[in-house]
Structure 1
Amino acid sequence: MAGKRERILIRRIDNLAARQVTFSKRRRGLFKKAEELSILCDAEVGLVVFSATGKLFQFASSSMKQIIDRYNSHSKTLQKADEPSQLDLLAEDSTCARLREELAEASLRLRQMRGEDLQRLNVQQLQELEKSLESGLGCVLKTKSQKITDEINGLERKRMQLIEENSKLKEQVSRMSKMEKQLGADSELVYEEGQSSESVTNASYPRTPLVTEDCSDTSLTLGLPLFHSK
């Protein structure tokens, strides 16, 4: 089985002899393909090739001069089609002139609205300019008032929102304070009203009562003999 054919890198061949051999082979193949194209497709084909040494090689399916004349004629037709006609040029010039006039008029109108170049205006034109400025100023003032009103309403909504949030925070603080007080009261020791801590302790732990009887009773109690005097 034959090995796979490697692709040749398309670049300039540095070796002069190899370059000339390749040129000769590729030129013959190119002319052969051009001839096949003209025969198979009934096309008029012309090829002109100059080698690196300046030598001319050509192929023409009919006549090279006829092909070149046809090419020049077709190229002139394309150039005429691409070039604008005289009427198109006149129309473009007219449009440019009209736009320049409109731009100059608009610039003059803008300067006059700024209070410049008013000397050329008569009384009627000045009155019309004044009405135009008053109308424009009214629209500006109306828009400004609406903007201010919208900002005030927005600030008022924010103020009410802050008041509501502040009230909620106060309620939370109040509930937490009540809970802390209740927890502190439950943890303290509660004494009865008018009773000292000592009495509470004695009441909790009663003492043995003291003996207040006489000596005889004491003697009997201790179990000693009783002597009577004669």
Structure 2
Amino acid sequence: MANISKANLLDKDIRSLEILSKQYKKKVGNPKELYIWINPSGMKTFSVEYQRNKFKKIGEFREGIYSVAEARRDDLKILKELESGKEINTIMGKDEKYLYKNLFNTYIKQKLKNGISQSYITKITKQHQNYILPSFGNKDIKTIKYSDIFAVLNAIFNPNNSRTSRLETIHRLINDIDKVFSLAQRDEYITYNPSKELHRAFPTASRFTLDKFVDTRLPALTDKEKIKEFIIDLKMDNKLD
């Protein structure tokens, strides 16, 4: 039974917990089974004590993303399910619905229902298969961080050549990633969508070419013979009015 603990740590208390050379745990409280583990790396991880001195990780403390209040909510949910007779491994098991690849498939199906052309769907799917699904396809969307997605997209970015920068591809991928995360967010499975900040991490293709002083216009015709050829071709174009 979940009991009220004398400990009642808040986000500010978690922030101030000292980082030591060895891992240690601290009671968060309310319920009494909620703990936080402080690691030498600086990572602070919430866990539930489901049996005496046996713990299961709930989530990493990330201010503004996964707070004490959210950890308490998840901890209480787990404790209620334990009391109903469920096993901890069943409760903490991976929910296939929220694997990134399954949410992506749901997103694609919605696109098809909305009348998006098959050629465009094929393009979106191919981009995801090339760049996103190999890294995130089998991951629970709750575990995918901003820094993880940024690392994958940054590897695609070629800042040394404006014509092969892949910025248009990157921003299209971000748009699709945003839609996938939004599916889980609407279900209240996640509270934070890391893709919202990604557009600002990469310049637009037009801004990039301007900053690099790249002239994207086609070269002008200056050779007289080529100009004549162009005029002849233009006159022979029966598609012109």
- Interval of TM-score (by shorter of Structure 1 and Structure 2): under 0.3
Structure number having the greater helix percentage? 1
Structure number having the greater strand percentage? 2
Q: Relative contact order, CA 8 A, sep 6+: which one is greater? A: 2
TM-score by length of 2: 0.19
TM-score by length of 1: 0.20
> Which is greater in Rg?
1
